[in-house]
Amino acid sequence: MSPAIGPWSGRKYFLDKMTLRDLVIAYFTYYAILVYLLLAAGAIALTLYWAEGWIGPALAAGIVLPLYPAVWYGLHRWVLHGQWLYRMPWTAKVWKRIHYDHHQDPHDLSVLFGALYTTLPTILIVTVPLGWVIAGSAGAAAATAAGLLTTCFYEFCHCIQHLPFKPKWNWLKQMKRLHLAHHFHSEKGNFGITNFLWDRLLNTYYGHPRDVPRSETVFNLGYTAEKAEHYPWVEALSDAAHQQTGALRPARSR
């Protein structure tokens, strides 16, 4: 869903046709990013209000930073690339929105951003208990703020990786190269977005497309025509969406 506000009103953005300036405008006017930033500001304010010192909240926020890549890796590999969400009618729509559509068209900015109804609960589940154990309510607020801001950073890096733009920094070039291989060569590795440590530790890292065979399911995530015969809900939703927009539906291999 794209909100009918500002530059997003009545239009869609495709990263392969955008400049960096276009992306910055679209990014800072997208409703999910605005929600993250507003909630982060509120969480920072609560941290300052509740804090009796700075060490506890700083520690809580600091622990979130290295934790986030591990959480994202797990969600990306075993949930978003899992073969179970599309098998149930009540989760098929969620899976289609949060990942299948992104792999079908990696340039569509509206489905690149995470859906708030999935991202916000995840952020809170991870950060609030952790922060509370470390520094009570102030720690919970600080950890939440760190989780929200880290998500904003992740989302922007993810956008850059799909933009026809050559970064100046080598670390960003490397992230872009590895992520594009995940989208256009094999989706069975390189699950990290801003950090590939867990790919290395769990043997899903590949530094170059020649290192692993090309995947036949890189665009459909294993939801083939044969799978659609048994689990038709994503297929039906995709057909309805393409009939509504008049767009041609991407071919899906068996």
Residue-wise pLDDT tens digits, 17-57: 999 999 999 999 999 999 999 999 999 999 999 999 999 99
User: Among residues of the chain, what percentage have pLDDT more than 70?
Assistant: 92
Q: What is the pLDDT of residue 80?
A: 97
Nearest to 187 by CA among 224, 225, 215, 208: 215
- Among 76-90, 113-127, 173-187, 228-242, which stretch is predicted with the lowest mean pLDDT? 228-242
Domain locations in the chain as residue ranges: 21-245
Mean pLDDT of 108-125: 94
Sign of CA dihedral 152, 124, 37, 23: positive
Return d(Cα 226, Cα 235) in angstroms, integer.
11
What does pLDDT average to over the chain? 91
Nearest to 189 by CA among 111, 81, 66, 114: 81
Return d(Cα 86, Cα 234) in angstroms, integer.
7
